[in-house]
Amino acid sequence: MATAVSPFGLLTISFFHFLLSNPTLSSPLIDQLNQHPPPNFLSIITNNCLHDSSLRYCNSTSFDLTNIFKSTIVAAHLCNLSNNPNCPTSFSFIDLRTRPKLAPLYLSFSFFWKYCPLSIQSIDLSNNSLVGPFPSQILNCTQIHSLDLSHNMLSGFLPLESFTLLTNLSNLNLSYNQFSHEFDVEAISFFKRFNDSSFFHSGLLNSDKDYKFKMMTTILLLVGVSALIASVVGCLVRRIGGRHKFSERELTKATDGFSKERLVEKREKMEIYIGMLKDGEDVEIEIQRGNVSSEFRRNFVKDCRLLVKVRHKNIVKVLGWCNEREMRAVVMEREEGVSIEEWLMTSPPWKDRIKVAMEVVEAMSFLEEEWPQIRCDVKTTNVMVNEGGEPLILKLKVHDHPNSSSRVIYTLHSFLVPEIYKFGVFLLQLISNRHLRKEFEGSESRFVDWIATHQYEKLRNVIDENMKLSATAHEQARQAIEIGLICTDLSTDKMLTISQISSMLRIVYMPSMIQSVDSHHHRTRNKKKAMT
Ligand SMILES: *[C@@H]1O[C@H](CO)[C@@H](O)[C@H](O)[C@H]1NC(C)=O
Ligand SMILES: *[C@@H]1O[C@H](CO)[C@@H](O)[C@H](O)[C@H]1NC(C)=O
Ligand SMILES: *[C@@H]1O[C@H](CO)[C@@H](O)[C@H](O)[C@H]1NC(C)=O
Ligand SMILES: *[C@@H]1O[C@H](CO)[C@@H](O)[C@H](O)[C@H]1NC(C)=O
Ligand SMILES: *[C@@H]1O[C@H](CO)[C@@H](O)[C@H](O)[C@H]1NC(C)=O
Ligand SMILES: *[C@@H]1O[C@H](CO)[C@@H](O)[C@H](O)[C@H]1NC(C)=O
Ligand SMILES: CC(=O)N[C@H]1CO[C@H](CO)[C@@H](O)[C@@H]1O
């Protein structure tokens, strides 16, 4: 029966054909999505439900006509794009293999996934450099038999409970991703039906443990956002003696015996305290407890020895470490300021935002040149800014292959999202002031795709309107968006270096701009001096 294979029911078929064949509607997908449902759309879907109550939208408490309409449009395009025969009556698979531009775009249409056509049996989104958390919206298609997300850069935890709703799933491939190992695949009965080849190099297998182990050292070295006062000048002088090792006793004292009042963050394997050293210096202390192998401890110290040497005005200072049998800790300076995420809520002007972007990219470029083993995790939550508008990068990690060329790091090291990509996202956020978590379900790629699709016709929506830009500044912002999109283009073979991006930004802002940034610098420095 025709209804059994139609994604949206018998009567919509003619409607689909209207969409697919009407020449006046041959404009791109996005234009169609901006149209209104036809006047009789409610009666179309009501009739559909009378004939086939299994349609996903029939069980909605109220018909959200706009989204149901949009979902039919996306379905029509996606069916065709996936080369299904007889679209859309037999839309049985989604094939977006090696479509790194399109896959994130289609994933971002949450209304489509919410009403996932029941005819779809198989979904293949492999080989797309997808970043961010597992795209849970796919799991709305509970009926599927096959799901392939291999060869992407997905990270974080699997939504285990939602997975178990996929009772008919018989083929799963999550290989070559960067998930966090949280469970023993063997231990969860749902996953027992899949063998190891579904999870090769995904971060989920026990055999990936060695690799996870390395990740843990790096996690420990990550720094949280600080919020109180630090005397920066003082600490520079005091550490010249080179004593970087702290004992557990010293840290106990510095944190009033690891008191609750001084605990600012607690994660599964890590606690972050604020404290004060004997000499009155305010510090932030990251602690990992429990026994680890001696090899782990050796690597930990090796990494710390490296980190304490890094000195740059826009990179957090690591003061030292503690390495004891039951506890490891990293001690860092604390500076006054707010995270960029919070800062953006105060609608800072364009010149302050671009100054932050330039200083961050210069600090990254300093690391790239001087400390290629060390990378930083640039995000609006991991960079803070002080009262003078000076940014400070708070999260660093040491990576494992100091000898590999940067080209190799970017492409083969799949567990690391290229730093340049992170900077691109950061830059685009500075310009657009969009909240990734609230507006794009935390997905960087969705955010980037949103910018890419709106940059021409809807530039006004992309640039944060609170900035009230002059014509020159508007043009600078437009060019900065282009640079942001170059940084986030994972489909190209040629990755630029951070230094190249830094130069491009400088060119956009021209000498006059740089001068004003520099003079602003001096003001900031003087202010700092005045404060101390
Ligand atoms: C909608 O609800 C009906 C009755 O409760 C049920 O039989 C049907 O399976 C539901 N359809 C979907 C798609 O959940
Ligand atoms: C994966 O994508 C790359 C380019 O991005 C391509 O060269 C390669 O053939 C693809 N692999 C598969 C298995 O499709
Ligand atoms: C679809 O996904 C959303 C969010 O993941 C979830 O709340 C909802 O229950 C899902 N619906 C179905 C039918 O699976
Ligand atoms: C699994 O397949 C059976 C038989 O085709 C079907 O009745 C059932 O609804 C499917 N399960 C889901 C979650 O769609
Ligand atoms: C693992 O499962 C896949 C399909 O699910 C199958 O093709 C493959 O032969 C299995 N491998 C082993 C070693 O059992
Ligand atoms: C998953 O993909 C990987 C890499 O393409 C492949 O080696 C493996 O056999 C696949 N596993 C399954 C179950 O299809
Ligand atoms: C609307 C649309 O994109 N239709 C296309 C579906 O696919 C066939 C061939 O694969 C094209 O000829 C149509 O233009």
Task: Indicate the SS3 state at residue 298.
Answer: helix
Give every strand in the sheet of 171-173, ordered side by side: 93-95, 122-124, 146-148, 171-173
User: What dihedral angle (degrees, nearest 10) is formed by the CA atoms of 217, 423, 409, 297?
Assistant: -10
Counting residues of the chain whose pLDDT is more than 70, the rounded percentage is 77
Q: Residue 127: CB within 6 Å of ligand 6? A: no
pLDDT tens for each residue of 395-407: 888 875 443 333 2
H or E element in which residue 527 lies: helix 498-531
In this predicted structure, what is the pLDDT of residue 135?
94
pLDDT tier for residue 331 given thresholds of 50, 70 and 90:
very high
Q: Is the pLDDT of residue 224 over 90?
A: no
The model's confidence at residue 355, banded by pLDDT at 50, 70 and 90, is very high
**pLDDT 10s digits, 409-451:** 222 232 346 788 899 999 999 999 998 888 888 888 889 999 9
Considering the domain 338-517 in this protein, what is its CATH number?
Answer: 1.10.510.10
List 322's β-bridge partners, or say none. Answer: 329
- Specify the amino acid at residue 115: Y
- The answer to whether the CB of 99 is under 6 A from ligand 2 is no
CA of 133 to the centre of ligand 1 (A): 29
Question: Half-sphere exposure of 516 toward its Cβ, with a 13 Å CA cutoff?
Answer: 9
Q: Provide residues with CB under 6 Å of ligand 3.
A: 114, 136, 140, 142
Residue whose CA lies nearest to ligand 6 atom number 7: 197
Q: In what order do the strands lie in the sheet with 391-393?
A: 338-339, 383-385, 391-393
Give the pLDDT of residue 242: 53
Tell which wins on pLDDT, 413 or 276.
Answer: 276
Unique residue bearing structure tokens 């989604």: 94
Determine the pLDDT at residue 174.
95
Local confidence band at 10 (pLDDT 50, 70, 90 cut-offs): very low
- pLDDT at residue 143, rounded to an integer: 95
Residue nearest to atom 11 of ligand 4 (CA): 143
Q: Which atom of ligand 4 is nearest to the CA of 166?
A: 13
Distance 59 CA to ligand 3 centre (A): 12
Sign of CA dihedral 185, 191, 196, 197: negative
What's the chain's Rg over C-alpha atoms? Answer: 26
- pLDDT, one tens digit per residue, over 110-130 is 889 999 999 999 999 999 989
Structure tokens at 202: 């995904």
Instruction: Identify the residue whose C-alpha is closest to ligand 3 atom 12.
Output: 140
| Ligand 4 atom at minimal distance to the Cα of residue 118 | 14
What's the CA-to-centroid distance between 399 and ligand 6, angstroms?
27
296-305 pLDDT, tens per residue? Answer: 888 888 888 8
Query: Would you say residue 214 has pLDDT above 70?
Result: no
Per-residue confidence (pLDDT) for residue 207, from 0 to 100: 54
Q: Which ligand is located closest to the Cα atom of residue 141?
A: 3
Going from the Cα of 119 to the center of ligand 4, the distance in angstroms, rounded, reads 11
Q: What letter would DSSP give residue 247?
A: -
| Beta carbons of 80 and 20 less than 8 angstroms apart | yes
97 Cβ inside 6 Å of ligand 2: yes
Sign of the dihedral through C-alpha 143, 34, 76, 9: positive
- Provide the whole-model pTM: 0.49
Q: Higher pLDDT residue, 12 or 129?
A: 129
| SS3 assignment, position 20 | helix
- Measure the CA–CA gap between 367 and 316, rounded to whole angstroms: 12
> How much is the pLDDT for 522?
40
Bond prior to 349 in cis (omega within 30° of 0): no
Summarize the confidence of residues 155-184 as an average pLDDT.
84
Contacts of 451 (CB under 8 A, 6+ apart): 428, 432, 462, 481, 484, 485
DSSP 447: H
Q: Is the pLDDT of residue 6 over 60?
A: no
pLDDT by residue (tens digit) across 36-90? 888 888 888 888 888 877 788 887 767 788 888 889 889 999 999 999 998 877 8
Report the separation in Å between the CA atom of 396 and the middle of ligand 1, taken as the mean of its atom positions.
Answer: 50
Per residue in 290-325, pLDDT tens?
A: 888 888 888 888 888 888 999 999 999 999 999 988
Weakest-pLDDT range from 451-460, 466-475, 509-518: 509-518
In whole angstroms, what is the distance from residue 120 CA to residue 112 CA? 12
Q: Helices 471-487 & 419-432, crossing angle to 10 degrees? A: 150
Task: Enumerate residues 6+ apart whose C-beta is below 8 A from 93.
Answer: 82, 84, 120, 121, 122, 123, 124
* pLDDT band per the 50, 70, 90 thresholds, residue 254: very high
Probe residue for ligand 6, chosen from 127, 148, 150, 196 as the CB with the greatest number of ligand atoms within 8 Å: 150
Ligand 4 surroundings by CB, under 6 angstroms:
142-143, 167-168
Q: Which fold has domain 243-333?
A: Phosphorylase Kinase; domain 1 (3.30.200)
Q: Where are the domains of the chain?
A: 7-92, 243-333, 338-517
Q: Which of 95, 127, 129 to mutate to test the pocket of ligand 2 (most atoms within 8 A of CB)?
A: 127
The residue whose C-alpha atom lies closest to atom 8 belonging to ligand 4 is 143
Query: Which residue, chain included where needed, has tokens 């604390």?
Result: 334
How far apart CA 263 and CA 254 sit, in angstroms, is: 12
Task: Check if the beta carbon of residue 382 is closer than 8 Å to that of residue 225.
Answer: yes
- pLDDT over 60 (residue 185): no
